[in-house]
Amino acid sequence: MEDIVQALPRWKKIWLAIAFGSTALVGTIVGTLMIAAPDLSRKILGFPGELPNTDPVVYGVLAAIWIAVGLQCFPALFKPTAYLPMLKIQLVYKAIWIAAIAAPLLRQGKFPDYAWTLLVGNCVWIGFDVLAIPWRPPAVPQAVRRHPRRVQSSPSTV
């Protein structure tokens, strides 16, 4: 399975490292900060404003998820193909949040100032994920992709 990563172009390997590395660092640090210093984390995440004081249980669940995703991305730096689902989950949940929450609020003119940092961050991470995820297997030769029926195996002897 790791031979898929070896067959990727150098730029794609770099984007995989950026996506996993940044998710590992930011997810672990921010999630831990959300648990250890919730007031400070609300100021940082809500810059230039401040996130509203929310239910500590819900805020804690979000923090735990960010820490879990962050911790899962550290070993992904060494075995990226085994952890590709992490990037896909991240891509999908951020896209859903933008489409179902942020976009309607923006259209209605009700998007809160404190949420801009989250919106920009989600857009940046979606970009990382789109660039990093190998959307088609690179190990398949180009000729096979174009004309799969023309490639024949060697005749078998009976």
Encode pLDDT of 46-98 as tens digits: 877 788 888 889 889 999 999 999 999 999 999 988 899 999 999 999 999 99
At 2, the amino acid letter reads E
Mean pLDDT of all residues in the chain? 85
> Given phi > 0 = left and psi -120 to 50 = alpha, else beta, which region is 109?
left
Instruction: Work out the pLDDT band at 153, boundaries 50, 70, 90.
Output: low
H helices of the chain, where?
Answer: 2-7, 10-36, 38-45, 56-76, 84-97, 103-108, 116-132, 142-146
Q: Which two tokens stand for residue 105?
A: 């609020």
The pLDDT score that the predictor gives to residue 127 is 93
Q: In angstroms, rounded to a whole number, what is the distance separating the alpha carbons of residues 58 and 25?
A: 22
- Residue 23 binned pLDDT confidence (cut-offs 50, 70, 90): very high
Of 43-52, 83-92, 105-114, 126-135, the one with minimum mean pLDDT is: 43-52
pLDDT of 51 reads 81
Q: Which residues of 25-56 are buried (b: 16+ CB within 10 A; e: fewer)?
A: ebbbebbebbeeebeebbeebbeeeebeeeee
pLDDT grade for 144, boundaries at 50, 70 and 90: very low
